[in-house]
Every structure is written in structure tokens, then in C-alpha cells.
Structure 1
């Protein structure tokens, strides 16, 4: 009985109807429930159509039957159907707690239709969602077999937030000033609870923001009120904003410095044209950067920012606000940096840029070991390989990109209680698969879950593997749950990339590699991942450098990840191969470029099958994220019957049992 009372107490509160997830209720449009428990009596007050019609039900929780007189004829759930109650008659109710964990109320009465009365029984059920934020109500009528009425409610005051659509204009002299202000505002107002979510346009790198929003509404029962611009956003969150910072539109780097100051002062960043708006709401000026940095080099600007702000900034997070350059900036990750009081920069990590490079080294050396570098390198100043090489030298973990959105919001939405990550494994540990005399292909998409084909047509049609950004398990737990729940039986998840975050193992200090691999192993265990991907470009040059691994580093991964069924290596083609205890490490033999024609791509694969004559031949293909699965299918459909696409874990199992590749490490005379 105690458990029943506790669960009934959990049902108590005010619940509002989610209209687009509920059966139609006609002209009433809306419905709310007020559920309370007092002195052994459960009370459910229904408010139809904003008080157009109301009724209250009271019944004992001990399962005894009770009666209530009918006061009027209204049959509210179907007002367009000629069914009515009979005023003056009685309704008999009985409440019970079901075996499935919901409240069941049976209702028996005489209904009337055009031909007379009908003895009707309705079974009402009320069941909480796993998070407790939603209530699912169903009504099964004896006169309506096989088609129940269903209403979904959210708990009033819980999971209420705001959202705002962004536009595809990130020019300094265009849409950036307002959108940078909105993103800075997001980092401030989300500091203590998730309140503002931004929906980015279809052209954005991470394409999932509208899909995750739908998930939060439908699965988490969150309510979002749309804001239509920075004016309405400031009005809504005025009490959270401590002031404003003016950046100089003639000095792009002043915006990056402004993001640092915003995190330290809870002030929004705005350009000159928005000063009247800030003054309209009585915001105080924190700093005006107009004219301050005119004619200065980035190194000089960041030196000033370092002297002013560094000591107040986080040692666990630093943000490289790189990516696009010139008249464009796409600062999607700025909310996260502001939320964490991070130092922002886009210093060059190109050794030839001596001043900026030395300063970048100095900043990274002062961060806590194994901490995070968010954002991305500047496409103008340096290369990805140079950036990750330098961060890895200090045992730091890169989490890209500069466009990574909504992390200040997503980090605060937990997993559904009881949710466990389950990958779509195709083999058993003790299973033996005998390959045929064929060319086996496995496909892995590049660049994490949220970029590329996940939201595009074709996902689920063929076996396909996806690189998982493993830190999302704590950085955006509900978002990671969203991907796992969306996965089909053909979607297989792979741990990436080189560690618990993006790094190059050859650049990591040798004493730090085992602890980092252990952190990656822990994330893999949580996420039910059995395959791990390594990428190594310390030498630079995705196409001209050596992507291969020395034996000592391969040893470290095998020793540190005993549960892994196999490893993959590279980005474009690489040449490291081995197998140990039937667990292979296989490098990519093919990179499907987005610019390669489908006919030429198929010809490339056929040529590899000619060069690699032994059968079975295991051909691992890395698919650039700009290719959706339909395109991959069209390429594979051009191949002959000797080719077979298989799931990645099946591929690795067969390759481990019947290896036909030559063992090779970095430094060997052939290949890499």
C-alpha cells in the first residue's frame, strides 16, 4: 500500500495537454488535469477548453466502488458524436493500481444514443513517463473496441524552456551580430538550468538540432516557447543579464575576446547597432572594444586578453573559436565556453607562426592534464593535423567543432531513468563465422554522429557504422540517448577517435597514453562499444603524411582495451594491419570522397579487388560525411557478385578468424 500511495503522489500535480500527441477533442481544443491525494481520497479535476466545461472525480484508493450522480449530458471526449450521459443517473467508479505500474479507473454507466440507452464501460488508465515529466492517459470504451482514446500531458512547470530559430547568415556585416548576441545570451541563461535551445538551419554542420528538439518534446515532454529575436530574448531573460559588451565589427578578433569576458561577467556581446536595444532594457555597459584593438595583430590582442582575464578562466575547458575566417564566424560552441568561463582564442598552431604558436603552447601547457579543447582550428591560420598534434602533446582532448551547438543546454538534460545504452551487435563472442571466397566490404561514416547522413534518407537500409563522439555521454546525455533510440538494426556504433576525445597517439606523451586509453575504455563500456577507431596524423598531411601506427602504440590499445573485438585505423587509406587473439586491427583501404563520381568510386573498389588477390579480401571503406547512404548504395550496386557488404563487427570477426592481410606497422618497408 505504501508503494501505491507513493506512486499516486507522483501522479499529483497539474498536467497540461500536448495537443499534437493527443486524440482530437474538438472545440474544447485544450485539457488540463489537477490530480491530488488527501485523506485516502484521490481527486482528479478535469478542465476542458480553459474552463468551458469542468468535472471532478473523487474516489477511494483502497479499490472500493463509489458512485457519482450525473449532472449534465456532456460527453467531453467526443462532443461531435451523438453519445451523452443521462442527467440524474449514477456512474459507478472503481480505482485500482495495475500490474504495469499505472492507475486504472473503471467507469460504468448508461449512455444514450439516438435509439435509446446503452450500458457502457470505460477503462481509464493514467501512466507516468519514465522521467515523471509526462503523463499518458488512455480511455478504452466497451463501445469502441480496438481503438482507444489517448491523451499525452506534460507536468506544468517542469521541463519548460524557450527555443529560437537561427538563420544561415554569419557575416560580420550581416546576421552575425544578432546571432552572436543570442548565443552569448544562451550561455548565460543556461548557467543554472536548461532554458534556451537554438535550432540551427539545414546548412549547419550539425544537422540534428530540429530532430533533438522534437525528441525533447515527444520523449521528454518538454514545453518550448518560441522567441522571435534578440529583443524578445533579452526581454524574457533580462534578470539573468548583468550587462553588455560591445565588440568592434572592424576587428573580428574583438568578438572572440568578448566571448571570454561574457563568461566572466554574465554580459551579452553585441555590435554597435544593438546598443540602443541594450539601453532600452537598462543593461549596464561592461566594456566597449570599439577602437581598442585597431591595427593590432591577433598575438597582441590575445596577449592583452591573457593579461586581463586568464587567471579567472577555466583550466578544464579552453575554446578555439576557429573554423571560417574573414567576414564570417560561426560560433555555435560559444554558449558552452561562456557557460564554463573558458578562455577563447583562435591562435595559430602552425610552428612557422612563431608568436602565435608559442602563445598557444603556453596556454595549453597551463590547462589541467586530460582536459578539453573545444571548438576548432582556424581554416585560415593552420591545419587540423597541426592543431591536434599540439593539443595531444599536452595530453589534452579535442572536442570539435566550432559549430557544436546547444551544449550549455544539453549537458543538463539527463538520461531517462533506467536507460541503458545498447549497440546493435551482430555476433556473439564465441561465434565462429567462416568467410567465403569473396570481397567483404564494411562502411564507416566519418566525423561523428551529428554530421552527415544520420538524418538523411537511406539510414537503416544497409549495414553501416557510425563514429561516436563518446564524451557526449556526459556532455549531452539525452542527445546521445536520442541517437541510440533512433538507431536501426543496421546502425552500428564505433568508439572514436584515438582516445577519450580526438587526439594523435604518437604526439601524446608516452606516460599519458595508457591513462587516456583507460578513460576511452570506460566510455566504451558505458556506450556498449566493441570496436575502437584510431587516427594518427602527427606527421601532417591527410593525403601525404604517414597515418600508420608503430608497434608500441598498437600494443597500448590491445593492452588497454581487452574487451574490444577489433580496431580500425586511418582516415584516408592507411597501412597498419595486425591480428592478435583473433582480434584484428584493420586500416582503411578506401576513402569515398564526396567529389568522386559513383562510377569512378565503383571502379576504384574493383581495382582494389584485383590488386588484393587473396580471398577473402577485407576492404574497409571510410565514407566522407557529405555522402548520404543512398549514394553509398548506388556505388555498391555497381559492383559484381563477388562483393558483399556486411556489418562491421561481422567483418572484423571474419577478418580475425581468417586474416589475409599482411601484418604491418609504421616503419616497415612496405606501405606506411
Structure 2
């Protein structure tokens, strides 16, 4: 045991550190079981504050170094623990016993994870052999008591499959009762992983450590095939459609738990490397099938997809968000009309110059595991900032890995911009939010999606959706396009081949542009980009890269412009503003754009309180802002209108202070909304999302 202290102040945060890497030298069964145990210990120990940090991959060391550099957790005192028995004993205050799972029914390992979060138990496989975790922790050592035992409990007498019997029981026991919170779902391969012929080649792909986030939040873990036309390879003798039918029942119960009033997030992914994929159903179709099904039940995907998906410390990292509860993440401001003219991108008559405008979409970062494992090295590239890139970091990943966003926003250059990846604040198929909803038959959820995205897009100052993917759900529709105009005012880029609007278009009746993406080739990208040049005309092209470095984008741009200088690489805001004015032929279309950058509205109030509040607004448009009004909707939907006489020039932030009295005698949680008005016209009509937060009246 070794203690490492990093102190700068009076207080310390005591943290246990455990190195899980030696377990990877053990048998496949042990690799899974140790990772599973550490996932549970992390979820339980880190539920209320950061107490346990696990070293499993190089990513853990990278972020540990970063945390130390910013002194978070405050004055951390790391005690290195090398014995699993010692670690369990040190965390005994957070453990109420053992949930025992059955190696003959691998699905029970996932039931054990759910039970772990619900009952504060640690999952252990029943394996009474020398040196097994069962022997070390139950029969010997701390002699932990067995509180829940799944061994021999499921034999297939209900559905014809022990696997699906287990999940039917779990859905009824944990979801119907609301013991497990269905807003936190985990789709992770079960203990069958250690039987897979491929497991020895990819030992970190067991993903059992990833359960920590679900366990911390008392969520629900499963692993079922989304296909209904063949039996899964992990349970080939089950009746046809058993896995799929069980999955649908589970998702129905997850939806019913909150009656469709919120979105659930499923962390994880269909385990296509090991299961449910063959000559009939390949990897990408299986991904699309999963998204198609999940979307129908108001579930977004935090896609821990092979093969950069091991993520050991989400429960630990999540506490960083508590240091920034009122923080808003503000991006670079939009370019002014004068700046675009000076750059030769348009003239004094607002005519867009004849060029081919290229936007790089840097993705696909729709998984907290992917950004934790890959993104810091790509971001720290010395050439970052030499060419504009729209980095597609899904904003909902902040919940599970908030450490990343602060680092990115603090270290961005003038050429780094953040957009949302597929398909906004979580990966789903947007047309599946409209009736009729295949697989579920549930009521529409477009309003709920708009509300969710407004929250995240406001928090992270996002104005463009980088990739709207609809997979097997078919073409995008006018309804789905209009839905995105409500929270993504500077447009969205859609999956190629999913619209009739063409490569670049304004959504009919709106100011919002939409674009079609093109995937960058795996080689000869320079010729690919050159092939899209349109001489003597204006063209807007989005090139999508996946896990590419800033150096890669910079080198492509440099080589392209040597050959064709009329191809211009721009940021997403320049791209959108030029497209808006080019497509609309409207000189005023970019005049009234703003970002709501700050306010000091209280989170808790009493009826009759006199509130003094300061609002700060940045002018992103081409008008000077003045002679406006600011409408505030507060508790009990009380409406207050203030004169906004603060003049704000483009790119500047203006502030104003007002007073109002709380007029509400009904305790509860209320929405807070504010928006600028020009006369009777809301700035929402000009493409500005109102600020939406909440207040609690006590």
C-alpha cells in the first residue's frame, strides 16, 4: 500500500487508487469478474463523492495526470491499494453484501449489476475454486454475506430460455417496482463474453468496468438481440424472437416508469463484435437496428461502441460537474459582416463570393467512452487551430464525463468550434419521434426532444447540429427538419441521401440552413475534396471525418489550396451565415442573433422575495442591438417585461440589472424562460433559442 499526496491547501480529498491492469493476465473468466467487481465498487464508492479511482487503460493515466494539474479533486490524497480483499474491506461502509450470479446463465451477471446499484451489493460469480473472487471474498477474507442469489434461479420454464427468463424477472422486479431508475440503462455484453472465441484477442472489450455509471445511478443493465428473425448466437436454442420480444417488453416498462415525460439514456452498444452479427446481420445494420428500436421508446444512445470503449471511471469523473453548477460554456463569437467582407467571402452588397466553401466535421464523438479514450490526444495536436474544425462533441456526454468539456472550452483556439454530433443531445433517429412509431406505437416525442436539446445547446452555446443520422428510419421529413430549427438555429448537417432538399437548402419557411455530409475518403482525400469544386459558382460542402487529428485536416487543406485557392475552409458559423444570406437573398437575415451568456437568477426562492438580477447578452448578429425588451417568465408563469436599452455592438457583451418580486404562493419546480423582443416580435422568430432553466419555490 502506498499513499501519494498532492496538496496545495488546507483540505484533502482521500481517494483509493486500484490498478486493475494485472487482472488482464488472468483467465478470461477472471478478467471479466475482476472488471465487473471494480465497476460495481466504483459505482458504489463514487456515488456521493469521488472515493475510488481505477487504473485500467492509458486513458486513466492521462486523465489522472490532467486532474492533478488542475488540483481536482481538491488536494487529492491517493492511497494505492494492491489487494482486492483489502480494497473491498476499505470500502465496506458502501457494501451491504453480495449478489451472486450464475455462470451457467451469463445474463445473470447483468442482473447482478442492476441489483448492485439498487441494493448496494457487489456482484460475484459463483465459482468455488481456489483464488476465485467468490473464494477470496465470500468463503474467506471478509466473509461477505450473500444477500441475493441468482444461482439456479432461471431454467427457461417461462419463456423457453433461461436468458430471457432472467430479463423478464428483472424487468418486473426492478423496473415495475421503480427500484431501478429506467432513465439510466446499460447495454453491455454479459458474462458470455468470456466464452466468445474472440475474447482473448480483445480482452478490454468485456466493458464490465463501464457498469459503474449505471450502478452509481441505480440503473438497469441488459444484453438482448435487437433482431427478431434469428436466434442469437449466445442462446441458439431459444424460441425464435425471444430476445427481441423480451427487449421490447423491457423498453416498454422503462418508458412506462416515467410515462414518457423524459428521455432515457442507454450507455453501451449492441455488442456486434461478439454477438448478434453474422452473414445475415452485419455490424452497421445491427447498430442502425438498435438506434431504430431505442428511438421509438424515447431512448438516446451514449454509444460505447467497439473498439475504443473501455471506460472505468465515469462515476468518479461525474462529480466534476458539481464544481460548475452555474457555469455556461461560451464559444467563439460569430463573424461580423465586416469580417466576412475583409476576408473576401462577400462584398458590400452582401453578395457571397464564388467559391466552394468547405466545413470539416470532426467526429464521431457520441460516446463518453470514445472521447475519454481518444479525444485528448487528438485535441492536443500541435497543428490544432491552423484550420477551422467543427468538433462534434455531443453535449449530453457532459453528464458522464464533464472533465472533457471544461478542458476543451478553456483551450480552444479561434478556429475551434463545437457542434453536436449524431443526432443532437444523444444519438437517435429523429423521424422515430413522430407517429406512427414503429416498434412501440407510442405517442410522439418531438416536443420533448426540442426541450431536451434547448437545455444542452444553451448550456454549451451550440448553434449547429453536425450530423443528423436516421439510419433505418428512412428519409428525413419536413416535420423532423422543423423540429431541428427549434434548437439548432444555424442549421444542421444530415446523413447523405436522406432528404429531397438537395445538398444545401433553407428549411422551408425558416432561416435555418441544412447541408448534406460527405464522408472523407480513407485515402487521397485531397483529390476527393478537389472533385467537389464548382468553378464560378457558390457551393457548400461538409466533409465528415472520424477520429481524425487536426494535423490531418490541416494537411488536406494545405494541399488542396495549393492546387485550388478558390476552395475555402471555414468554421461552422461562417459556413452557416454565408449559406443563409446566399440562399435567402435577404440582406437582414443575419442581423439579429444573440447568445445568452450569463444571469444570476437564484435557483431557490420564496414567495414575495425581491430579486435583483443581472443578465448578460452577446450580440452575434450584424445589427447594433438597442431599444429592445427582455421578457422573463418565472415561478407560477409570472411574466416580467424589462426595457433593454443597453447598446451592444457585434461581438460585445452587454449587461443590464433589473428587480422583480416573486409572485407565487404554490411551492414546486418551475421553468424559467427569457428572450429578447423587438416590439412584439420575439427574437425566436429571428432564429434565437430562448434561455430555459428552472427555479424551485419553497
Equivalent residues of 2:422, 2:466 under 8 A apart: yes
Aligned to 1:376: 269
Equivalent residues of 1:190, 1:408 under 8 A apart: yes
Aligned to 2:167: 302
Equivalent residues of 2:355, 2:535 under 8 A apart: no
Alpha-carbon deviations, 1:419-442, whole Å to 9, x = none? Answer: 431112342489755154333221
Counterpart-to-counterpart distance in 1, 2:87 and 2:219: 23
Aligned to 1:587: 516
Question: Are 2:381 and 1:526 aligned?
Answer: no
Aligned to 1:187: 43
How has the CA–CA distance of structure 1 residues 606 and 534 changed in structure 2, closer, same or farther, with 3 Å as cutoff?
closer
How has the CA–CA distance of structure 1 residues 404 and 660 changed in structure 2, closer, same or farther, with 3 Å as cutoff?
farther
Equivalent residues of 1:318, 1:342 under 8 A apart: yes
Q: How does 1:211-226 map to 2 (within 5 A)?
A: 212-214=66-68, 217=71, 220-226=74-80
Secondary structure, counterpart of 1:622 in structure 2: strand
Alpha-carbon deviations, 1:492-519, whole Å to 9, x = none? Answer: 1113433432221111135311231122
How has the CA–CA distance of structure 1 residues 454 and 524 changed in structure 2, closer, same or farther, with 3 Å as cutoff?
same
Secondary structure, counterpart of 1:191 in structure 2: coil
Partner residue of 1:333 out of 207, 210, 230:
210
Aligned to 2:87: 233
Aligned to 1:360: 247
Partner residue of 1:265 out of 119, 122, 139:
119
Equivalent residues of 1:318, 1:372 under 8 A apart: yes
Equivalent residues of 2:186, 2:266 under 8 A apart: yes
Q: Which has the higher helix share?
A: 2
Secondary structure, counterpart of 2:144 in structure 1: coil
Counterpart-to-counterpart distance in 1, 2:244 and 2:550: 40
How has the CA–CA distance of structure 1 residues 556 and 289 changed in structure 2, closer, same or farther, with 3 Å as cutoff?
closer
Equivalent residues of 2:495, 2:516 under 8 A apart: yes
Aligned to 2:8: 153
Greater shift in the superposed pair: 440-449 or 470-479 = 470-479
Alpha-carbon deviations, 1:212-266, whole Å to 9, x = none? Answer: 5345536854343333352332132122211223444555323222212212221
Partner residue of 1:399 out of 298, 302, 306:
302
Aligned to 1:274: 133
Gapped regions of structure 1 (runs ≥ 5):
1-15, 20-151, 541-545, 662-672
Equivalent residues of 1:582, 1:657 under 8 A apart: no
Aligned to 1:623: 545
Equivalent residues of 1:577, 1:587 under 8 A apart: yes
Q: How does 1:437-516 map to 2 (within 5 A)?
A: 437-448=354-365, 449-450=371-372, 452-456=374-378, 457=381, 458-510=383-435, 511-516=444-449
Shift of 1:405: 4.3
The number of residue pairs the alignment matches comes to 495
Partner residue of 2:181 out of 291, 310, 314:
314
Shift of 1:207: 9.5
Shift of 1:211: 5.5
Counterpart-to-counterpart distance in 2, 1:506 and 1:244: 43
How has the CA–CA distance of structure 1 residues 447 and 224 changed in structure 2, closer, same or farther, with 3 Å as cutoff?
farther
Alpha-carbon deviations, 1:531-574, whole Å to 9, x = none? Answer: 1234232426xxxxx5x42222112222x12x722222227997
Equivalent residues of 2:189, 2:223 under 8 A apart: yes
Counterpart-to-counterpart distance in 2, 1:243 and 1:267: 5
Alpha-carbon deviations, 1:6-43, whole Å to 9, x = none? Answer: xxxxxxxxxx9976xxxxxxxxxxxxxxxxxxxxxxxx
Alpha-carbon deviations, 1:581-628, whole Å to 9, x = none? Answer: 65421120x2125xx22xx2222222233xx55533222111012x32
How has the CA–CA distance of structure 1 residues 332 and 628 changed in structure 2, closer, same or farther, with 3 Å as cutoff?
farther
Counterpart-to-counterpart distance in 2, 1:306 and 1:17: 44
Question: Are 2:333 and 1:425 aligned?
Answer: yes
Q: How does 1:564-575 map to 2 (within 5 A)?
A: 564-570=489-495
How has the CA–CA distance of structure 1 residues 374 and 507 changed in structure 2, closer, same or farther, with 3 Å as cutoff?
same
Counterpart-to-counterpart distance in 2, 1:535 and 1:317: 23
TM-score relative to the length of structure 2: 0.64
How has the CA–CA distance of structure 1 residues 313 and 430 changed in structure 2, closer, same or farther, with 3 Å as cutoff?
farther
Gapped regions of structure 2 (runs ≥ 5):
200-204, 231-240, 278-285, 347-351, 366-370, 436-443, 586-698
Counterpart-to-counterpart distance in 1, 2:134 and 2:40: 15
Secondary structure, counterpart of 2:574 in structure 1: helix
How has the CA–CA distance of structure 1 residues 397 and 655 changed in structure 2, closer, same or farther, with 3 Å as cutoff?
same
TM-score relative to the length of structure 1: 0.66
Equivalent residues of 1:212, 1:479 under 8 A apart: no
Secondary structure, counterpart of 2:417 in structure 1: strand
Counterpart-to-counterpart distance in 2, 1:284 and 1:266: 12
Partner residue of 1:654 out of 541, 559, 578:
578
Question: Are 2:141 and 1:254 aligned?
Answer: no
How has the CA–CA distance of structure 1 residues 231 and 209 changed in structure 2, closer, same or farther, with 3 Å as cutoff?
farther
Shift of 1:355: 1.9
Secondary structure, counterpart of 2:472 in structure 1: coil
Alpha-carbon deviations, 1:618-646, whole Å to 9, x = none? Answer: 22111012x32223333333322333322
